[in-house]
Structure 1
Amino acid sequence: MKNYLVLAAFCTVPFLQASAQDKPKHEDTEFYTPVPPVITPGAISGAAPSDAIILFDGKNLDHWLSVNDRGPAKWLVKDGIITVDKSTGNIETKQAFTNYQLHIEWFIPKNITGEGQARGNSGLFLASTGKGDDGYELQILDSYQNKTYTNGQAASVYKQTTPLVNANKKPGEWQTYDVIWTAPVFYKDGSLKSPARVTVLFNGVLVQNNFELTGPTQYIGRPSYTKAHGASPIKLQSHGDKSEPISFRNIWIREL
């Protein structure tokens, strides 16, 4: 019996030592790499951080081109803002993007007329995939006390989903979209690997929460991923309605 007790005591010592050594420590879950790069945030809300690409600085449209003829963008630049020229069609960025954070501010004229979709209609195409209105559209519209189909109001992913809330300001006030875009990914054979996703803050309010798109925008019919693509420009729409043209300012992007 004594031998068994001695053996048991002998076996217990290293077990206790091992237990003490394996006891979790706060350092076990702390790491020091990778070190995030340092950037300088904008001095005021909405201002571009130091690593942003400035797509419109209030001076010119050097970062944009006309979708119709691939020449210089012809919208009006005056007093630090861009105003849509409906006679010259859509414009898009010269540079193509995949995943990004985008800030853009837009303005519906105070004297806007019309109703429904004919009231300050435009669109922010988060990835432009061709001429005309090809791409993935985040709707721009006066949706302040203006009734229309809800998946076509401001901050909707057009014809796919409604915004979580209506965060519109009155016409005559500047409005803001802050967008996180995750581009779709395709296999080499052109089939879909992962769909596009988008998160949108509208005037600081969450209105699209990592929404999964079912394909590019379709005015008629259901969207689907029928054409593989890579990095794409960002497009602003010159809509054909007869209401007063809308304006944009302070457009910047951060590639992710």
Structure 2
Amino acid sequence: MNDVAKIVLALYVLYIGFLPRATADDQADWQVLFNGKDLTGWDGDPRFWSVQDGAIRGETTLTKLPLHNTFLIWRGGEFQDFILKIKFRIRNGNSGIQYLSMEFDKWRISGYQAEVENAPGKVGFLYHEAGRGWLTDVGDFMVIDKQGRKSVISKVADKDELIKAGYYKEKDWNEYIIITHGNHIVHYLNGYQTIELIDNDRLADPNDRKGATRSGLLALQIHIGPPMLVEFKDIYIKHLEPKYGDTVLLFNGKDLDNWQVKGDKEKSKWAVGTAKMSPDNPKLLVNEDSHGEMLNLASENGDSMDIYTKEKFGDCHIELQLMVPKGSNSGIYIMGEYEIQVLDSYGKEKMGQGDMGALYGAAPPAVNACKKPGQWQKYIIEFQAPAFDNDGKKIRNAKFLKVELNGQVLHENLEMPGQTPGGLTGKEAPIGPLMFQGNHGPVAFRNIVIKPVLK
């Protein structure tokens, strides 16, 4: 923020109202799918499936091999829009966790599969069993269009860095978290995001399995081939309200056609490429490639312009990743008017209303979740737009229902009695664009998605 904005803030009436920490209420929302004792609720070929030492055990031997991939199926009903938590340990062979799937023959399944195998760099990827085959590699953000064409838009993580960080523990217990909501799927493995998919393909049916699915069965796989042993335990599912429409990708990774510069376009330093912190000056970003990320290649003094989406939204859920170099300053303006601060606050002990994750001038973040400069960070924002009557009089304030940064909750249910300074118009409205501040310092964004709330 500039000095003028700070002066305005002095007059402004403040209203303080990977994964999030679970509360007791949150835990009550989880359905237990495995009791740790027997296969109650599950159905599969008894030659291969059993329970031992508190875990579901899938095992084949040289004298007991399946003729095709076979599955242990949850018979408690189909699921749609959920968060699934499940731990697995695989000694050898190949397995998978099926979801949003259909049964086309006894104990045979088609649908999305989270890969399970002792292969760092492969475990965590997304496959379509008995359907479209490979969908999304580890590290990729994939979009499938209505014609079934696949495009890698960007990266959710660097595969080599994931392996180096130990995202997978070989022959040990690992935890998947799988999130599905409409056309949007995300995998986490041991807290590391491994893939993201927006699947806009035609919908599959029992006679055409080569399409997307929105609901379906949950199952565990034994893969055809040499003898194998896989175990599963601690299986929980949380149902999500189907209150959002399909996920919309706001940046296609190729161009800025869906974005508009605020002010003089000639002064804009926004570009498309791949961001890295400059090796010569850690306060700057450099562009190392031609696609995937939105970069503001401003100087330290922020000699660029703000940029915003051409499309407007009201109540919504927003997810995005961002990178800031050392000491840099930017902002995310929801509806173009309500700023969530972007700042290099790494290592700071006492956070203020101008630090990373603050609702600028209104509330500091509950914790400092800021990563080191040059690292990708992830915001998840749930926002309720202000409401107005037929005469244009405001009858409900805007509200940040939840703001998370890197898996930590920063704000919940915080009302905004008015817009923050430095916004697009300086006026509140029922809908507005998403805007990124560009006139304060270099910053990069990627994987920018929004889910409008259904009315």
Note whether the superposition's TM-score is higher than 0.5: yes
Counterpart in the other structure of 2:263 = 68
Q: Is the 8 A contact 1:84 1:247 kept in 2?
A: yes
Give yes or no for the alignment of 1:96 onto 2:245. Answer: no
**SS in structure 1 opposite 2:250?**
strand
The residue correspondences of 1:32-181 to structure 2 (distance < 5 A) are: 39-44=182-187, 45=193, 47-50=196-199, 51-69=246-264, 75-79=270-274, 80-86=292-298, 87-109=303-325, 112=326, 119-128=327-336, 135-146=337-348, 150-181=352-383
**SS in structure 2 opposite 1:200?**
strand
Counterpart in the other structure of 2:414 = 211
Q: Is the 8 A contact 2:349 2:368 kept in 1?
A: no
Work out the CA distance in 2 between the residues paired with 1:146 and 1:206: 17
Letter of the structure 1 residue corresponding to residue 420 of structure 2: T
**SS in structure 1 opposite 2:344?**
coil
Work out the CA distance in 2 between the residues paired with 1:246 and 1:147: 23
Which of 390, 395, 403 is residue 193 of structure 1 equivalent to? 395
- CA shift for structure 1 position 43: 4.3
Q: Is the 8 A contact 2:323 2:376 kept in 1?
A: yes
Please tell me the root mean square deviation across aligned C-alpha atoms, in Å.
Answer: 2.7
Q: Which runs of 5+ in 1 are unaligned?
A: 1-34, 113-118, 129-134, 220-225
- CA shift for structure 1 position 189: 3.3
Work out the CA distance in 1 between the residues paired with 2:197 and 2:331: 22
- CA offsets per residue over residues 177-226 of structure 1, 9 Å max, x none? 0111100012233332011111111101111112111210037xxxxxx9
Q: Is the 8 A contact 1:152 1:159 kept in 2?
A: yes
Q: Is the 8 A contact 1:106 1:247 kept in 2?
A: yes
Q: Is the 8 A contact 2:306 2:435 kept in 1?
A: yes
Q: Is the 8 A contact 1:139 1:157 kept in 2?
A: yes
- CA offsets per residue over residues 163-182 of structure 1, 9 Å max, x none? 11111111121101011110
- CA shift for structure 1 position 154: 0.8
Work out the CA distance in 2 between the residues paired with 1:230 and 1:74: 30
**SS in structure 1 opposite 2:335?**
strand
- CA shift for structure 1 position 76: 1.3
Work out the CA distance in 1 between the residues paired with 2:398 and 2:343: 23
Give yes or no for the alignment of 1:246 onto 2:443. Answer: yes
- CA shift for structure 1 position 41: 3.5
Q: Is the 8 A contact 2:385 2:399 kept in 1?
A: yes
Structure 1 residues 82 and 160: alpha-carbon distance in aligned structure 2, compared to 1, 3 A threshold = same
Instruction: Calculate percent identity across the aligned residue pairs.
Output: 32
- CA shift for structure 1 position 60: 1.5
Bigger RCO of structures 1 and 2 (CA < 8 A, at least 6 apart): 1
Structure 1 residues 148 and 206: alpha-carbon distance in aligned structure 2, compared to 1, 3 A threshold = closer
**SS in structure 2 opposite 1:168?**
coil
Q: Which runs of 5+ in 2 are unaligned?
A: 1-79, 82-180, 188-192, 200-245, 275-291
Q: Is the 8 A contact 1:184 1:194 kept in 2?
A: yes
Structure 1 residues 48 and 231: alpha-carbon distance in aligned structure 2, compared to 1, 3 A threshold = farther
Q: Is the 8 A contact 1:191 1:228 kept in 2?
A: no
Q: Is the 8 A contact 1:56 1:63 kept in 2?
A: yes
Structure 1 residues 125 and 195: alpha-carbon distance in aligned structure 2, compared to 1, 3 A threshold = same
Considering only CA atoms, is the larger Rg found in Structure 1 or Structure 2?
1
**SS in structure 2 opposite 1:210?**
strand
Count of residues paired in the alignment: 198
Q: Is the 8 A contact 2:328 2:440 kept in 1?
A: no
- CA offsets per residue over residues 9-35 of structure 1, 9 Å max, x none? xxxxxxxxxxxxxxxxxxxxxxxxxx9
**SS in structure 1 opposite 2:353?**
helix
- CA shift for structure 1 position 88: 4.0
Higher strand share: 2
Work out the CA distance in 1 between the residues paired with 2:443 and 2:380: 18
Q: Is the 8 A contact 2:297 2:443 kept in 1?
A: no
TM-score (norm 2): 0.40
Letter of the structure 1 residue corresponding to residue 334 of structure 2: L
- CA shift for structure 1 position 48: 4.8
Q: Is the 8 A contact 1:41 1:48 kept in 2?
A: yes
Letter of the structure 2 residue corresponding to residue 101 of structure 1: H
Which of 428, 433, 439 is residue 233 of structure 1 equivalent to? 433
- CA shift for structure 1 position 120: 1.0
- CA shift for structure 1 position 157: 0.6
